[in-house]
Chain A
Amino acid sequence: MTTTLFDKVWNAHVAGRRSDGRDLVYMDRHVLHELHGPHAFARLAATGRTLRRPDLTFGVLDHALATTPGRDEFTNPAGAPFTSAMRAASGKHGFRLFDVHDAEQGIGHVVAPELGLVLPGTTYACPDSHACTVGAVGAIAFACGTTELEHVLATQVMALRKPLQMNVILEGTLAPGIGAKDVILDVIRRLGIDGARGFAVEFSGPVVDALSIEARLTLCNMTIEMGARTGFVAPDEKTFAWLAGRRYAPRGADWDAAVLRWRSVHSDDGATFDRTVVVDCSALDHMITWGTNPAHTIAVSGLVPDPQASPVEQRPGMQRALTYMGLTPGMPIEDLPIDRVFIGSCTNARIEDLEVAATLARGRTVAPNVRAIVVPGSSAVKREAEARGLDAIFRAAGFEWHESGCSMCAGANGDLAATGQRCVATSNRNFENRQGPGVRTHLASPAVAAAAALTGRITDPRRILAEV
């Protein structure tokens, strides 16, 4: 009997089945943020229910916090009620909140793996669609809304129907400088933004094997952008080494027993999937989005597509996107002038991402008229970057160096661009108005974003690195 990774984890976590046919899937860890937590706690109180497992529940402050240097919870006044509601809930129910000045503060999807709160073969709940990020260590993450969040608080399970399963096999070898962001943008381009809807997605193949854990976090982060609620990578020796010694990872004999168990957390040879997609990544170039959803992706060296040359059902959406983005079909995307650069978010704000951007920024200067900000994914990433001197490189080049948070990805803390501005962002959503009314967002890797900051135009980073 061959079994997929997903089946193994799912089956091991089904605590019961409801009369409506939904499986009660146990959530090993639950991380919630201040934007949605307060409403769920208020409803929990209104119905007289309690938090079932405060010891498995953690709170983060990421969406509504200001990220300007030296910030506190009042720097963004609109965010203060969210913060105080989380503190009150933490005090009342006894769960750990990583508060604004805590060493562990940061974006939930960055902090959870970094602290060993997600582990191979475990389940993870989070009221945020990018929960799938943490699948990179072989965990199965389930994002949810506020009512489902309340459900997990009260019961520690989610009532779910089992999704279909897809295997995305990434073949070949990445060219130098090409990274996980380019890979996932290309996969979304191929599958479409609803191409994986209804599926749990396992990423595998030689490209995935070769990626670092941080790069796998980037890869899994955007699974939701093709419609799938969860995406993951089988854990390997790299995963175990990366998790060893982390704050909430098992220790001593528990660790040894856990690793032994984790070695079976993979899809068996010959396990069947409802759909298998093979993508050869060998010829992959630097990618960037041109439009208003993440499937609107082309190579940095490519041309803005022509709706008339596309399937008829896609034309209205493409035309709308072209108008919103102020682009014309057939024009090169490279050399397009930009106003803003955002290096940050749960997609691309870990230390490896900042290293890539700093390599380009070192000894160079942000173009006049461009405002570029670097927002570390967690306070731990920020400390590590400062220990390595990356902050000094960024500052010297004219980048702003911020505190950790979601910032310009979610736009919920007031970090927005101005109407009509064009922004190259390392985040995950280029939706209309996401970074502010009328703001034009181009998603790309940290390398492409840094290159754009330096030239003031969409630029192939190899052009910068080739300069002497």
Chain B
Amino acid sequence: MEPFVRLTGVAAPLLMDDINTDQVSPATTAFEPDYAALLFSRWRVEPDFVLNRKQFQSARILVAGKNFGCGSSRESAVWALAAFGIRCVVARSFGDMFRDNVLKNGLLPVALDDATAEEFEREAVAADGRATFTVNLETQSIAAPSGWVFHFPIGPADRNALLRGLDDIGLTLEHGKEIERWEERTRSTAPWAQSLPA
């Protein structure tokens, strides 16, 4: 996974609550879809949709309301954001599985409390894609073009995994022996759990 340390880019405001992953990446019948084109594809048919505006076509940051990424656990939502160029989503809160999927792909989810979010949203709207924001994960801060610096919380484990680009599966495989021991124990206490009828 590519480490996330710092990011400078345009922030696109999509200030709606409860945007579900069906909107972020609509169901497609394609085996290998064009993920960048898939991003918000049903909403992008509207010419004035935020990501269709010229200054947001290279956006690196997406700003949304509460409960962003609720609904389906489809990881294509994150792949679509990443393919478009988004590496950081700022919102008031996130759907649980979407947030997990974001972290596993090396994107940064920033959840702001309502008061801070309100200020940040105002900054994003005022900047209107004409100036960039700089996200710094080490200092857990985002510098707005106005000079205002926003601080955001993130758990130390998530922060560390992003900064170092850790391989999630690799981390778990270090515990292979413990998993084997768990299976061994279960074979004696509940054999049916480890062995299905033929």
Chain A contacts to B: CB under 8 angstroms: 15-16, 18-22, 24, 26, 28, 36, 38, 47, 49, 55-56, 64, 76, 78-79, 81-82, 85, 119, 122, 127-129, 143-148, 150-151, 154-157, 159, 193-194, 197-198, 224, 227, 229, 247-251, 254-255, 257-258, 261, 293, 313, 316-317, 320, 410-414, 429, 431-434, 437
Contacts and interface: CB of A to CB of B under 8 A. Distances in A.
A157 B67 contact: no
Give the size range of B's interface with the partner: 35 or more
A151 B178 contact: no
A194 B74 contact: no
A28 B195 CA distance: 10
Contact of B171 (A20, A78, A258): A20
Given A258-B190, A317-B17, A146 B75 contact: yes
A76 B31 CA distance: 13
A429 B22 contact: yes
Contacts of B18: 193-194, 293, 317
Interface in B163-182: 168-169, 171-176, 178-179, 181-182
Given A56-B196, A145-B101, A433-B42, A18 B171 contact: yes
A423 B137 CA distance: 46
The 8 closest A-B pairs by CB, nearest first: A78-B29, A20-B157, A250-B192, A16-B178, A145-B75, A15-B182, A145-B101, A147-B104
Contacts of B30: 78
Which among B31, B105, B193 has the highest number of chain A CB atoms within 10 Å?
A: B193
Contacts of B195: 55
Contact of B175 (A15, A47, A76): A15
B47 to A, nearest CB: 16
A278 to B, nearest CB: 24
A18 B157 CA distance: 10
A104 to B, nearest CB: 14
Given A145-B101, A154-B169, A194-B66, A16 B23 contact: no
B179 A227 contact: no
B85 interface: no
B108 interface: no
A24 to B, nearest CB: 6
B2 to A, nearest CB: 14
Given A78-B29, A79-B29, A147-B104, A155 B172 contact: yes
Given A16-B179, A129-B71, A159 B172 contact: yes
Contact of A82 (B31, B101, B161): B31
B173 to A, nearest CB: 6
B26 interface: yes
A18 B72 CA distance: 27
B27 A143 contact: no
Nearest to B104: A147
B171 A19 contact: yes
A411 B96 contact: no
A129 B71 CA distance: 7
A47 B193 CA distance: 29
B29 A129 contact: no
15 contacts: A16-B178, A18-B171, A85-B31, A144-B97, A145-B101, A146-B101, A147-B75, A155-B173, A159-B171, A227-B67, A247-B197, A251-B197, A429-B20, A432-B42, A433-B22
A19 B156 CA distance: 11
Nearest to A435: B27
A249 to B, nearest CB: 8
Nearest to A294: B71
Given A15-B175, A15-B178, A144-B97, A433 B23 contact: yes
